[in-house]
A and B are shown apart, each in its own frame.
Chain A
Amino acid sequence: MNDFLWSSGHLGWGVFALAVFTGLWWLLGDLYWRLQNIRISRLLVTLAIGWAIGVGLILLGFRIE
């Protein structure tokens, strides 16, 4: 788990990927919300599911390594 947070003098790729993915996912969600006429509750649910899947894949990829 140490490699996840910190690895050989730089941030662990796991935590780095999580931070970048979360930020970009948020911004992408904002763009999608503005382009589509979608209810905010539905958007938040979609964003949450997408974020959970993304985080799951990152954690899974990090674990496989």
Chain B
Amino acid sequence: MTILVLQIVILCLVAAAIVLWALYFPYPSPLIRRWLPPRKRWPETQIRAWLKRGEFQRAFLRHFYSDPERIAPPGNSMLAPADGLVTSAQVQGGVRYLVIALSFWDMHVQRSPVSGRVLAVESHGDGFMDGEGREFAFLREKSCPVQKRLVIGTDAGHVAVRLITSLAARRIETWVREGEEIKRGQRIGRILLGSTVVLELPAAVNLLVHTGDRVWAGETAVAEGATCP
């Protein structure tokens, strides 16, 4: 009798696992999520469905809002301000615009590429789109971006970090103020949904990354050549 009960219990557990699988299909069952990398754990179609409903899985939100420690590499190189994929590195008007696209699965806290003093924290609505910025491919796809631009002054000149999100998301936090001294790799803000981070560098710097490279905020050296204290 004991063996029969044990067999039934085991069969019920297997059956429950299959029912869970069927309920969640095509998305992964909660039983196997922990073994999947983030991109497979929460497929894009599932996240887009959550965006429409305005409801998210708690585990996904925990991952989305995660803020792991980062160790800046030694030296004076400029660091990536965000996790993501380098999608463009165009030069225009003496400024190199290094565009980093963040995905849903990337960490969304931004870090300072250099040490220096925060000279300005500017907010932009869709104004940038109406001006010369319209020429840039990285902005062309975004109908109405909302932006914060942090200008950091160093001995070698100015560097700016532009945090961009969509009008729908419209949520950017900046954690530094004008006049504040910040360190290389220090947290400077967070985009709460989306999107894109653009690092504005002097055109003369030697770029260490290329389009298609993956970078990590505060850890990947993206440029060198200017003296960053």
Contacts and interface: CB of A to CB of B under 8 A. Distances in A.
Interface of A: 9-11, 16, 19-20, 23-24, 26-27, 30-31, 34-35
Interface string B1-40: 1011001001100110110010000001101100110001
Per DSSP, chain B at the interface is: helix
Given A23-B14, A26-B18, A35-B40, A10 B7 contact: yes
Interface residues of B, number: 18
Contacts of A26: 18, 21
Interface of B: 1, 3-4, 7, 10-11, 14-15, 17-18, 21, 28-29, 31-32, 35-36, 40
Chain A interface mostly? helix
B10 A20 contact: yes
A34 B40 contact: yes
B18 A10 contact: no
Given A9-B1, A27-B17, A19 B40 contact: no
A55 B18 CA distance: 19
A27 B18 CA distance: 7
B14 A24 contact: yes
Given A10-B4, A35-B40, A30 B29 contact: yes
A11 B1 CA distance: 10
Contacts of A27: 17-18, 21, 29, 31-32
